[in-house]
């Protein structure tokens, strides 16, 4: 796994922590983090599955 991809997963994890702690909605947190590769794909899947609600 490339360094850029690892960093992308860490950013995704941090964004999901914000959602879990009710600091941001999933939509807000996904707009803030610059994701790449498979982390971007995973974020898209999470967004599609969660719909307009929070995690």
The pLDDT tens digits for 15-48 are: 999 999 998 888 888 888 889 999 999 988 988 8
User: Of the given ranges (3-7, 19-23, 25-29, 50-54), which has the lowest mean pLDDT?
Assistant: 50-54
C-alpha torsion 26→48→32→35, nearest 10: 130
Burial class (CB in 10 A: 0-12, 13-18, 19+), 1: exposed
In Å, what is the CA distance from 54 to each residue of 1, 14, 15, 24?
29, 15, 12, 9
Is the sign of the CA dihedral 5, 24, 53, 16 positive or negative? positive
Going from N- to C-terminal start, the domains of the chain cover 3-44
Percent of the chain with pLDDT over 90: 36
């Amino acid at each position: 796994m490339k360094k850029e991809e690892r960093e992308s997963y860490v950013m995704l994890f941090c964004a999901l922590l914000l959602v879990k702690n009710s600091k941001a909605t999933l939509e807000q947190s996904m707009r803030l983090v610059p994701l790449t590769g498979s982390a971007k794909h995973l974020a898209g899947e999470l967004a599609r599955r969660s719909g307009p609600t929070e995690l």
